[in-house]
Amino acid sequence: MRAFIFPGQGSQAVGMGQALAAASPVAREVLQEVDEALGQNLSRLMAEGPADTLTLTENAQPAIMANAIATVRVLEREGGIRLAEKADFVAGHSLGEYTALCAAGAIDLATTARLLKLRGQAMQAAVPVGEGSMAALLGADLAKAQAIAGAAAEGDVCSVANDNDPTQVVISGTTAAIDRAIAIAKDHGAKRGLKLPVSAPFHCPLMQPAADAMRDALAQARIDAPLVPVYANVIAGPASDPDTIRRLLVEQVTGMVRWRESVLAMAEAGTGSFVEFGGKVLGPMVKRIVPDAEAISVVTMDDIEALLKAL
């Protein structure tokens, strides 16, 4: 069995998707449709930067999605395959869950782009810049990370945001609490704590205003049943019912991204091959979670052609 997986924030880079767009009219169509949906020349920002503008949450989220969907669409249309025939499950890391839903036909491309633009704006607006932070706890599993977050909180918000793999967990909360967590990380058995270059504390209770905004937006958005089950971040399990998907996407804003558990659950369901589209972030995580699994990253036209031969 096979899962198609989609990366989250941090995988953006100036120049992303440009070689693919130059080689494929299908990829160009995807980028143009996203530009039109947003009323913004996002494709030029992806191509030319500047990097600090591309990295803004409201730009990075739709850009990462557009790049990954372009890769999938080229595979499907130029390779003559259907996702539902080649993938048993889809999943994505944080915003990548929206990409997964788009790839699986649950949300159309224009709606996905607009939802992610709003999601980025709402997440940035939820907490004033400087008041919230995130840190990666390297060499820490979930239990150690929870202990560090609990010890560092001291009445502030400090919680696990991303359980990425057995060696990396990300925490999120007020800047003061995150600074304390970094200071005590080694004492609790982590190799070190590393503050992340993000502009807001994602996936923690401080994001409640953004969750409220997404609840309103998702209530108005058309969501269909996906062609294959989507493994949702907050339950680390499959979801196919549109109302359930809406609810889980709202919970995801403040909830923990249970990526490690999601990969384990897909593996336990029989998945032996994981194909990451539009990035090279999740593949290494998969290998740390399920060492025997096949993990492939598909970014370029050469990658797509190689995958077509393997499918």
Residue 162 tokens read as 């991303």
Q: Residue 175's Cα: distance from chain center in Å?
A: 23
Q: Which of 201, 232, 60 has its CA nearest to residue 134?
A: 201
Tokens at 214, concatenated? 């997404």
For residues 216 and 170, state if they share a domain: no
CA atoms within 13 A on the CB side of 296: 19
Q: What local confidence, expressed as pLDDT, does residue 197 receive?
A: 83
pLDDT tens-digit series, residues 104-163: 999 999 999 999 999 999 999 999 989 999 999 999 999 999 999 999 999 999 999 999
pLDDT for position 16: 96
Which 8-state DSSP code applies to residue 237? E
Shared-domain flag, residues 194 and 49: no
Q: Tell me: do 226 and 293 sit in the same domain.
A: yes
What pLDDT score does 236 carry?
98
Total count of residues recorded for the chain: 311
Structure tokens at 48: 């030319």
**Distant-in-sequence, close-in-space partners of 164: CB < 8 Å, separation ≥ 6:** 93, 170, 257, 259, 260, 285
Angle between helical axes of 57-79 and 301-310 (0-180°, round to 10): 50
Task: Read off the tokens for 136.
Answer: 């990666």
pTM of the prediction? 0.97
191 — pLDDT class (breaks 50, 70, 90):
very high
Counting the structural domains of the chain, the total is 2
Q: How far apart are CA 178 and CA 158, in angstroms?
A: 7
Q: Are residues 194 and 252 in the same domain?
A: no
Q: Say whether both 184 and 281 belong to one domain.
A: no
Closest CA to 90 of 251, 225, 203: 225
Assess whether 182 and 236 both reside in one domain. Answer: no
d(CA 197, CA 174): 14
Min mean pLDDT across 90-104, 145-159, 190-204 is at 190-204
Domain that holds residue 148: 132-198
> What are the tens digits of pLDDT across the range 211-235?
999 999 999 999 999 999 999 999 9
Average pLDDT, the chain: 97
Domain end call among 167, 198, 229: 198
261 vs 87, 215, 266, CA distance in Å? 19, 25, 9
Rg (CA), the chain: 18
Asked which of 179, 198, 217 is the last residue of a domain, the reply is 198
Element spanning 208, H or E: helix 208-220
Q: How far apart are CA 4 and CA 288, in angstroms?
A: 17
Same domain assignment for residues 158 and 118: no
Regarding whether 38 and 185 lie in a shared domain, the answer is no
For residues 246 and 159, membership in a common domain is answered with no
CATH, residue 176: 3.30.70.250
So what's the pLDDT on residue 99?
A: 98
pLDDT of 129 reads 86
Mean pLDDT of 303-310: 94
Q: Which of 160, 241, 261 has its CA nearest to residue 203?
A: 160
In CATH, what number is assigned to the domain containing residue 15? 3.40.366.10
Q: What is the predicted pLDDT for the residue at 11? A: 86
Q: How far apart are CA 137 and CA 16, in angstroms?
A: 28
Question: Does residue 280 have a pLDDT over 90?
Answer: yes
Residues noted as catalytic: 94, 203
Asked if residue 163 and residue 210 are part of one domain, the reply reads no
**146 and 237 together in one domain:** no
Edge-to-edge order in the sheet of strand 230-232: 237-239, 230-232, 89-92, 2-6, 273-277, 294-298
Strand (E) or helix (H) holding 12:
none
The pLDDT tens digits of the residues spanning 35-64 come to 999 999 999 999 999 999 998 999 999 999
Of the chain, the percentage scoring pLDDT greater than 90 comes to 96
What is the SS3 assignment for 296?
Answer: strand
Distance CA 198, CA 209 (A): 18
Sheet strands (E) in 37-188: 89-92, 132-138, 158-165, 168-174
Identify the helix (H) or strand (E) that includes residue 106.
Answer: none
Checking if the pLDDT of 10 tops 90, the result is no
3-state secondary structure of 201: coil
- The answer to whether residues 74 and 121 belong to one domain is yes
Question: Would the pLDDT of 251 be above 90?
Answer: yes
